[in-house]
Amino acid sequence: MKKTILYIVLAALCLNFRAKAQAVTKLTGRVIDSAQNTPLHGATIKIKSTGTTTSTNEKGDFTLYTKESSGKLTISYLGYKTTEISFNPTDKDPFAIRLAEDKNLLKEVSVVSTGYQNIPKERATGSFVLADSALLNRSVSTNILDRLNSVTSGVLFNNSSNLQFGQSAIEIRGRATLFSNPSPLIIIDNFPYDGDPGNINPNDIESITILKDAAAASAWGSRSGNGVIVITTKKGHLNSAPQVSFNANTTVGARPDLYYLPQLTSAQYIGVEQYLFNQGAYDNAISTGYQALSPAVEIFSAARNGTISKSDSLSEINTLKSYDSRAQLLKYFYRPSVNQQYQASVSGGSATQKYFFSAGYDKNLNNTVNSSYDRITLNAANTWYFLKNKLELFTNIVYTGSTTKSGPALASTDYPYDQIADANGNPLAIANTLSIPYGSTAGNGALLNWLYKPLQELENGYSGTTSSLTDYRINVSLSYQIIKGLKASGLYNYEKGINDVNNLNELQSYYTRNLINTFTNIDPVSGAVTYPVPMGAILNTSLTNISSNNGRFQLNYDHHWGKNAVSAIAGTEVKDYTTFNNAYTLYGYNPETATDQNQAVDFTAYNPYFYGYNTAQIPANTSETGTTNRFFSVYFNGSYTYDDKYILSLSARKDESNLFGVSANQKGVPLGSAGLAWIIDKESFYAIDWLPQLKLRATYGYTGNVNTSISAYLAAVGGNIAQTYNAYASTIVNPPNPSLRWEVDRNTDLGMDFGTKDNRISGSIDYWLKAGLDLIGSSPIAPQTGISLYTGNSANTITKGIDLQINSINLKGKFKWTTTFLYNYCQNKVTQYKVSNGTNLNVVSANYNNPLQGYPYYAIFSFKYAGLNKSGDPQGYLNGKISTDYTSIMNATNRTELVYNGSATPTSFGSLRNTFNYKTFDLSFNITYKLGYYFRRASLNNGTLYSAGPNSYQMADFDSRWQKPGDELHTNVPALVYPDNIYRDDLYTYSNILVVNAAHIRLQDLRLGYTIPKRPICHSET
């Protein structure tokens, strides 16, 4: 009996011990910003004794389980002071933890967004660039993407006014394709944005994340090859009182400097015209009686015909020599630009709801008169939480309406001495298609006025174009937390864009008068006048509709246990993107009644011109085009963290489309990535006090690119009525290619993040490698198929580089000084291209059409130049010997006779940004640089000089040309010859002596700010 009792007691004690061993303490709480009372999403909570870690959710809440009954919690958040609190068995209520911003640390965005999930930056294995609202608001622009220029690592902005063939204005880690879409994918609030980035109001943006490597970008699969720009808009904050903000800014720009480009003086140009006139270059044009002639040639002709005296002609020529059309262009056609931007918003939230509403208005007056841009944006975002925060509903409606107007522009005149107004400002006629004397008398009064007066067109606003763009974007998402750590989400995005472009050419406009007169017929016997083009205005209109539907179902799983943490997402999504455009022209249009006379127009008849011997059809300008692209995707993305030090990430995705493959297994492409990260500073053996932050990263994976202009099936575009047989015809765009595959980019990235004590110096460095595989290009095919070239997977490239960012806190205290240095290196080359590059002239003039293997896609090649001979003729090399056989030099295919000068795009670029703060003042300036690239400068060209138009006189080196024997000893500029030899011109134009190093350093911007101190609106005294 005693033994039995003893067993029971021992068993009870064992059970008691087991119960105590299994007791678990649940710790809950919320982390908020002490100043703003806003939740801190992604804050790290760690039990000091065991290292068990978790992070806060979007509402700042956390839950942590531990076997410890008491101890200390360490709470940290990037940019905030780390704090410690104690916990013990008596704690019953959730912890309310308030973190204060650390003013000595550089502010950073601590959570990166991939468009599918938010990841604490510390736990990311991929390569990201983060820009918060403070950095974005550092500059002022209508376009949000412009605000990333020169402040984001690995991102190159190309001059949009000087883009090369097929070049994107923004490149992330170089070019990932040859002939497909080169632009980065833009994501707004979790979905791809297919509209114009100019529709996005920068003041509605909370932050931007740029995804650069496979681990970061591969979540977007076949559209991520060019990098991804993820834009997150403002959405308000929980438990926040209403906050009203108003933003207003005005940017004023000077008139363009028309004197910047070198050009011939009026006297020099008239001297060339005199030379050409004496050579008989204008005799054919003069003999027609109607072709446009310059004022100087009109005077030369009149003097030769004896209609004016020699002294009068000399006086008139001297008067022309004194004119410079740039002065009048600046006076009448250009103005200072003024860009105004206004925005008002209200945001806030309760414990179960948050909101953000905004309205914006932009008004831009561009440099050219009668050119403007107006934009209205409305944004309404609401988030509700139900069922004890288990159910989350988000809705967002964004409206953008913009109007772009452009009037008749005259960037430059055909001749440097053209005058568009007399001394009193009255409009003057200038030669256009027809000579002024002919235009003044043709038809003996039966025709409309045929003179072209650009200033009159401008003053009356003739031939203006109005583009009205409307863009709607609707986002709806519903998320439900099924169990702890598991959340299901359904998301839907609808986007609708309408762009209505109308170009109204009034009856009084030169465009309409010229077209009506050109086809007018006067019966030589009866004098009866017929008008194939009816009297009235001419309206050219184009209407484009874009619609996009995106749907997604996703599961999110987050689980922490002990030293382990798993975060994963899996889902599927569908996308339907449709565009449709129709364009047409209305003749005899009456704007007041919106009626036209197109039924009276015979678009099939060939009508003789009023002048000369040409005949032509009246342009119908009618077209309808549309595309429908559909995509289906499944994806997975997950990460595993052990002991808060070792991180493994994996992703997999398969995209399918109606564009690729005939068989089912070719319609899709599998893509994926793997990444590793090691936070070394958390190791017990790590003891580098001056470098308390050190993290290594490595990623490998595949991204892709889509070319929506081709298909695996036979593609043809229906045309208008054929001119010869009056039968409808279609044009084959691409022959069938059942083996057509997706473009793929293989990415490798090795990175390191670091920070010294107190973050005095911090930053990151990445070495990356990107191989483009199965890129779309031209490829030869057997001629018996009916074609010699087809577009398909026929090219490969490789791009490699370095991204370096260093941040430093140089001074602290009342006077603060911080610096950010960016350095990027990017080099690419084509490793495979199957089409012949053609002649040496093809290579030096347009290498990008058929790029050479082993060189960059944008490469500059040149002819080896051997200087001038004794006659002033340029010399090159043929078969290793100096030659002036220009035809043979141009048609040679020996590449050793060419010079590779270098890349036409920067291989090194970056910036140095300094910011100074003193009390309420701040001063910031950004110095940018682009190195390691070249450009071909313009010089004297015989053929261009002898033609009409601005290009004929806007060139350099006219005074440096060869003019007499011996000049070849000190100049390389050829002599002028007539008639012109185009190949002779090409040898000099594409010679190596005209290639110049484009490297430069510039002061990008200078910013001075003053923050008005907060003061109470009213106060009371006792």
pLDDT in tens, 601-625: 999 999 999 999 999 999 999 988 8
What pLDDT shows up at residue 509?
A: 96
What does the pLDDT look like over 542-597, one tens digit per residue? 999 999 999 999 999 999 988 999 999 999 999 999 999 999 999 999 999 999 99
| Position 283 pLDDT exceeds 50 | yes
What does the pLDDT look like over 841-868, one tens digit per residue? 999 998 888 899 999 999 999 999 999 9
Provide the β-strand partners of residue 916: 817, 923
Which residue, among 487, 427, 435, has the nearest Cα to 458 in the 3D structure?
A: 427
Tallying the residues shown for the chain, one arrives at 1022
What pLDDT shows up at residue 868?
A: 97
Q: What are phi and psi of 306, to 5 degrees?
A: 85, 10
User: Which helix H or strand E contains 750, and what residues bound it?
Assistant: strand 743-755
What pLDDT shows up at residue 755?
A: 94
What pLDDT shows up at residue 789?
A: 66
Identify the band that residue 8 occupies on the pLDDT scale cut at 50, 70 and 90: very low
Domains of the chain in start order, with CATH, are: 24-99 (2.60.40.1120), 111-235 (2.170.130.10), 266-323+410-460 (no CATH), 324-340+353-408+461-560+581-610+623-628 (no CATH)
**Tokens for 91?**
């704690």
Identify the band that residue 107 occupies on the pLDDT scale cut at 50, 70 and 90: very low
| Position 402 pLDDT exceeds 70 | yes
User: Among all chains, which residue has been given the structure tokens 């409307």?
Assistant: 470
| Position 477 pLDDT exceeds 80 | yes
Chain centre distance of CA 943: 35
pLDDT-wise least confident of 37-46, 237-246, 632-641, 806-815: 37-46
What pLDDT shows up at residue 780?
A: 66
| Position 176 pLDDT exceeds 60 | yes
Give the number of C-alpha atoms closer than 13 A to the C-alpha of residue 525, restricted to the C-beta side: 0
Farthest CA pair distance, the chain = 148
Which residue, among 384, 148, 110, 16, has the nearest Cα to 911 in the 3D structure?
A: 148
What pLDDT shows up at residue 410?
A: 85
What pLDDT shows up at residue 7?
A: 40
Positive or negative torsion for Cα 862, 868, 874, 875: negative
What pLDDT shows up at residue 707?
A: 79
DSSP 446: S
User: Among all chains, which residue has been given the structure tokens 């003729």?
Assistant: 873
Distance between CA 655 and CA 633 in Å, rounded?
A: 4
What pLDDT shows up at residue 838?
A: 86
Contact (Cβ atoms closer than 8 angstroms) between residue 387 and residue 274: no
Distance between CA 693 and CA 691 in Å, rounded?
A: 6
Identify the band that residue 363 occupies on the pLDDT scale cut at 50, 70 and 90: very high
CA torsion, points 553, 559, 564, 570, in degrees to nearest 10?
A: -10
pLDDT-wise least confident of 437-441, 559-563, 753-757, 1012-1016: 1012-1016
- Strand 337-349 and strand 185-188: pairing? unpaired
Distance between CA 139 and CA 47 in Å, rounded?
A: 42
Sheet holding 128-132, edge to edge: 128-132, 205-211, 228-233, 185-188, 191-192
What does the pLDDT look like over 199-236, one tens digit per residue? 899 999 999 999 999 988 888 988 899 999 999 999 99
Identify the band that residue 806 occupies on the pLDDT scale cut at 50, 70 and 90: very high
What pLDDT shows up at residue 40?
A: 85
Positive or negative torsion for Cα 452, 458, 459, 460: positive
What pLDDT shows up at residue 777?
A: 82
Average pLDDT over residues 14-21: 39
Which residue, among 399, 462, 459, has the nearest Cα to 425 in the 3D structure?
A: 459
Distance between CA 843 and CA 281 in Å, rounded?
A: 32
| Position 72 pLDDT exceeds 90 | no
Contact (Cβ atoms closer than 8 angstroms) between residue 170 and residue 184: yes
As a whole-number percent, the residues of the chain with pLDDT over 90 amount to 68
Identify the band that residue 518 occupies on the pLDDT scale cut at 50, 70 and 90: very high
Distance between CA 811 and CA 790 in Å, rounded?
A: 62
Distance between CA 104 and CA 486 in Å, rounded?
A: 38
334-364 per-residue burial string, b: 16 or more CB within 10 A, e: under 16? bbebebbbebebebbbeeeebbbbbbbebbb
Whole-angstrom CA distances from 179 to 70, 320, 565, 708, 744 are: 63, 48, 43, 11, 14
DSSP 888: H
